[in-house]
């Protein structure tokens, strides 16, 4: 079995994050010149056999301007209308990759804009220098 090569990004001297080359290769080349925002989403599985999905209309909204970042890629979760079945218990996580936020952005909201009830919102995420975030979905 061969392992997938990883690119690492140093968060601090003690902490690194690894991103699979296959993930980067699946991103449209026109976006490779741009910077990205990585949002690691985690949540406790409330119900055995639960199904989840992400809508392509999920965005990051700058709290202090009309700036908005679009979802470019998702890992470990299906795009609507497909579904991902979750394990029966424990925690589940998935990665969302967005286009760059405006340089002036200091705080943003993660919003799953969907045409039905049940979309999630994570408000007031403080911007950092790495543009790598970990959020809990309730």
Q: Is residue 14 part of a domain?
A: no
Q: Is residue 19 part of a domain?
A: no
* Per-residue pLDDT, 46: 87
Residue-by-residue pLDDT tens, the chain, 138 positions: 444 444 444 444 455 566 676 776 666 655 555 689 999 999 889 888 899 999 999 999 999 999 999 999 999 999 999 999 998 888 999 999 999 999 999 999 999 999 888 889 999 999 999 999 999 997
Q: Give the range of the structural domain holding residue 51, as residue numbers without chain letter.
A: 31-136
Q: Is residue 10 part of a domain?
A: no
* Per-residue pLDDT, 30: 55
Q: Is residue 13 part of a domain?
A: no
Q: Is residue 44 part of a domain?
A: yes
Number of domains in the chain: 1
* Per-residue pLDDT, 7: 44
Burial grade of 80 (CB within 10 A; 0-12, 13-18, 19 or more):
middle
Q: Is residue 7 part of a domain?
A: no
Q: Is residue 106 part of a domain?
A: yes
Whether the Cβ atoms of residue 101 and residue 67 lie closer than 8 Å to each other: yes
* Per-residue pLDDT, 8: 41
Q: Is residue 129 part of a domain?
A: yes
Burial grade of 96 (CB within 10 A; 0-12, 13-18, 19 or more):
buried
Q: What's the pTM value of the predicted model, to 2 decimals? A: 0.76
């Amino acid at each position: 079995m061969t392992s997938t090569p990883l690119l690492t990004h140093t968060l601090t001297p003690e902490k690194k994050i690894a991103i699979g080359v296959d993930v980067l290769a699946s991103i449209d080349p026109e976006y490779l010149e741009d910077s990205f925002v990585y949002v690691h989403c985690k949540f406790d599985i409330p119900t055995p056999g639960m199904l989840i999905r992400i809508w392509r209309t999920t965005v990051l909204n700058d709290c202090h301007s009309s700036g908005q970042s679009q979802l470019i890629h998702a890992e470990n979760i299906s795009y609507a209308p497909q579904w991902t079945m979750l394990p029966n218990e424990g925690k589940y996580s998935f990665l969302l990759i967005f286009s760059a936020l405006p340089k002036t952005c200091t705080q943003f909201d993660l919003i799953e804009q969907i045409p039905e009830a049940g979309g999630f919102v994570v408000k007031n995420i403080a911007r950092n220098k790495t543009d790598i975030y970990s959020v809990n979905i309730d």
